[in-house]
Structure 1
Amino acid sequence: MRHNTILYCIDEIQMKPYKPQELLSTNLDWAAIVDLLSTANRQLARYDGLLQSIINPEVLLSPLRTQEAVLSSKIEGTQATLKEVLEYEAEKVQSSEKQGDIKEIINYRKALFSAKSRLDSLPLSLRLIREMHAVLMQDVRGENKAPGEFRKIQNWIGAPGSTMDTARFVPPTVQDMIQGLGDWEKYIHFEEKDPLVQLAIIHAQFEILHPFLDGNGRIGRILIPLFLFDKDIISEPVFYLSDYLENHRRDYYDALKDITDTGSWTNWIRFFLVAIISQAKKNNDQTRQIVALYESMKEQIVTATHSQFAVNCLDFIFNHPVFNSGRFYKESGVPRASASRLLNAMEANQIIKCIEKGSGRRASLYIFEPLIDIVNQ
């Protein structure tokens, strides 16, 4: 059950919705944010330098992508853990409740992947946002709430049972939302003085407009790495704020509310820049640990297996830190004649651990715990 705010929809407006600001005419107090801005840009540049040094980021950073999907979905109320998602993808059956949560998490990751690939032929735009939303909501809770379509009715945000009069926030009317989205899309391609400030405004305005009946928070968080990637600030769309936002949830909502209450962006932008600084440092640390683990495991697996397919084994367990033997046989690139021996060698040398022995047609389930421990920090 979702445990944070709930979105309600009605056909009749009872209270005046918020009137969005025009972003292109936003008057920003640059002097009030310059101290954090320089630090945030420096930390992001350091992180991107690390990303660019990684030879195979698709393999090494795969668990971080899944963990972001877990944490972003957790903000919306899902309860599944990283390990449970990985077990599900390794074809281990989960409870019916967890299956629903896990599918939402997998859809989040799919939406990010699809958007990244679409950026080759489509700019970051309202069209791309709708496509992402359709992927996000496919076959999960909220699939009946107009996937891929902007809302056509008024909504409001508040605690369960609240009305428009007691709501925490009432987003713009449909007409103002449509106009606001057009302004928002133009601002994405505007040459702002600093792209991190621009990103802070883009994320906040999207949440304020609340253009979908469900999934606004997740789409807003996916936009963060996509924008950084699209602006060539990072070389891979692997920079996530969900961990920080989840741990500072009240401050996050208060900073957003300050925009709509006072019309000032300063407190929000400062909050967002602090989040970037904090997360960039954590991402740097985790990525360095993952790279170091990869290098140390390379030596261990070569020693344990004495096989020309040692790197195949290494890349597979980093890409799939929870897996079953059947998937290893099919996808590792190790010949079937050698696969069982290599699995046994890695288990005997405590590189991987069997957490569920196979029997009959059921494959054995393995886990590569050191990687999961790093990602779960």
Structure 2
Amino acid sequence: MNRRDFENSTAGKIIQVGQGNVAYWAFVPNPLPPDLAPEWELASLLSVADRAVSELAGLGRNLPNPDLFVSPFLRREAVLSSRIEGTQSDLTDLYLYEAGQVPLPGFESMISTEADVNEVRNYVLALEYGLERLRTLPVSLRLLCEIHERLLAGVRGEYATPGCFRTRQNWIGGRTINEAVYVPPPVDEMRAGLDAFEKYLYVDHPHPPLVRLAFLHYQFEALHTFVDGNGRIGRLLLALLLVNWKLLPQPLLYLSAYFERNRPDYYAHLLAISRRGAWREWVFFFLQGVKEQAHDTIWRIKQLQDLQTLWRGKLDNVRANATTLRLLEWLFVAPVISIPQAQKLLDVTYHTARRSVEKLIEMDILHQFGESDYDRRFIAKEILKTLNAEDGSLGRDNQN
């Protein structure tokens, strides 16, 4: 790590570790909060972001069955957050994997390896666990360790002491520590930083919650507390805090899509804080992401609601039975399904489940995946199309 890049930073200090040929430089961030002067442009964007989150919260509170919409957005977050770390799996891959079938060659999905899908699936399990754990344990270092253990269980990072903070030095970029782009604090300084980080979680501060989220995300990434999985845990942290702090009634807002879409800027802003204390630029970037992703989620939820209404109308017109209507609802949770899965979800006979699936195929709601007659899977393509759309820009262009 180049000492000169960090020696004038106001966000922390650079220290030399070791001596002689084994010496290297590391960065130790200052405890939160930073000295961020209020100014009108930032205040204006904060106001817009707050309104967007409030609108999303209101929409979430009025959903007749929030679980139908929480599940797909949680999985979309898992795909995009994992993609930032290099996986290639998409949402269709994940749903097929959860339905018990790895995608077949030639399908439009950009499948890479089953290991990639496993990592994405672990993200889902880790986030679901964290959200459930919030009922009895607030966001804390303990909770982050528990989530980390589930994130890395049985996947490529399982060597990296899942569930434990690191006990050795790590670094970002470069083949050796002296070639690194960034070297986080040594273990003792990291532990002190974690103590301060947790205290900041629990103590009231004058900064607005969304600004505090921006502070905390940087601080966690700068401390780089795990051997592996820091980026994913840092993004999970945001989703958990939005619910823990009651900014949202359900976990509907995720920033990984924005970070992935602006990946070079995302990394550059985090590094710029460490190098020169560029807090204002990072907070502005972060709030822009909150605004965009809140509007994006609102747009997608409304698209899914319209789709739900359209399909219900089609089924009502042909007087579909209650079992078929129930299966339609389940498609928003699991848009890839088999007949045995439908049988289990609906608690009906195989014959009844098959008839409901066939009715949805007849109404052009479900489509068979692949051409095999054995162990067939069926896909609600329009749901996946809405979730996989590049962004909800049509829903954001007219919003300030």
Q: TM-score, normalised by structure 2?
A: 0.87
Contact kept in structure 2, 1:305 and 1:346, CA below 8 Å:
no
**CA–CA distance in structure 1, aligned partners of residues 149 and 54 of structure 2:** 33
**CA–CA distance in structure 1, aligned partners of residues 252 and 204 of structure 2:** 23
In structure 1, the partner of 2:23 is 14
In structure 2, the partner of 1:217 is 231
Partner SS, residue 44 of structure 2:
helix
Closer/same/farther in 2, CA of residues 16 and 336 from structure 1, 3 Å limit:
same
**CA–CA distance in structure 2, aligned partners of residues 20 and 354 of structure 1:** 53
Deviations 1:19-65 (A, max 9, x none): 111114x2111226212111110111011111111111112332221
In structure 2, the partner of 1:5 is none
In structure 1, the partner of 2:169 is 154
**CA–CA distance in structure 1, aligned partners of residues 88 and 318 of structure 2:** 37
**CA–CA distance in structure 2, aligned partners of residues 304 and 207 of structure 1:** 54
**CA–CA distance in structure 1, aligned partners of residues 388 and 336 of structure 2:** 14
Contact kept in structure 2, 1:355 and 1:366, CA below 8 Å:
yes
Q: 1:346 is matched with which residue: 360, 367, 373?
A: 360
Name the Cα RMSD after superposition: 1.9
Q: How does 1:91-240 map to 2 (within 5 A)?
A: 91-94=100-103, 98-159=113-174, 161=175, 163-193=176-206, 194-240=208-254
Can you give the 5+ residue segments of structure 1 that lack an aligned partner in the other structure?
1-9
Contact kept in structure 1, 2:88 and 2:112, CA below 8 Å:
no
Closer/same/farther in 2, CA of residues 183 and 273 from structure 1, 3 Å limit:
same
Deviates more, 1:65-74 or 1:10-19: 10-19
Q: How does 1:14-93 map to 2 (within 5 A)?
A: 14-24=23-33, 26-31=34-39, 33-93=42-102
In structure 1, the partner of 2:379 is 367
**CA–CA distance in structure 1, aligned partners of residues 336 and 28 of structure 2:** 48
**CA–CA distance in structure 1, aligned partners of residues 159 and 78 of structure 2:** 21
**CA–CA distance in structure 1, aligned partners of residues 216 and 102 of structure 2:** 39
Can you give the 5+ residue segments of structure 2 that lack an aligned partner in the other structure?
1-16, 105-110, 390-400
State the identity as a percent.
35
Partner SS, residue 172 of structure 2:
strand
Contact kept in structure 1, 2:148 and 2:163, CA below 8 Å:
yes
Q: Does 1:245 align with 2:253?
A: no
**CA–CA distance in structure 2, aligned partners of residues 192 and 271 of structure 1:** 21
Moved >4 Å (runs of 4+): 10-13, 94-97
**CA–CA distance in structure 1, aligned partners of residues 370 and 63 of structure 2:** 33
Contact kept in structure 2, 1:298 and 1:310, CA below 8 Å:
no
**CA–CA distance in structure 2, aligned partners of residues 369 and 93 of structure 1:** 17
**CA–CA distance in structure 2, aligned partners of residues 36 and 238 of structure 1:** 21
Once the 2 structures are TM-superposed, how far is the Cα of residue 75 of structure 1 from its aligned partner?
A: 0.5
Instruction: Provide the aligned length of Structure 1 versus Structure 2.
Output: 363
Contact kept in structure 2, 1:321 and 1:368, CA below 8 Å:
yes
**CA–CA distance in structure 1, aligned partners of residues 250 and 127 of structure 2:** 11
Deviates more, 1:317-326 or 1:298-307: 298-307
In structure 1, the partner of 2:294 is 280
Contact kept in structure 1, 2:324 and 2:357, CA below 8 Å:
no
Once the 2 structures are TM-superposed, how far is the Cα of residue 338 of structure 1 from its aligned partner?
A: 2.0
- Return the letter of the residue paired with 2:144: I
**CA–CA distance in structure 2, aligned partners of residues 265 and 166 of structure 1:** 25
**CA–CA distance in structure 2, aligned partners of residues 11 and 137 of structure 1:** 31
- Return the letter of the residue paired with 1:40: A
Q: TM-score, normalised by structure 1?
A: 0.92
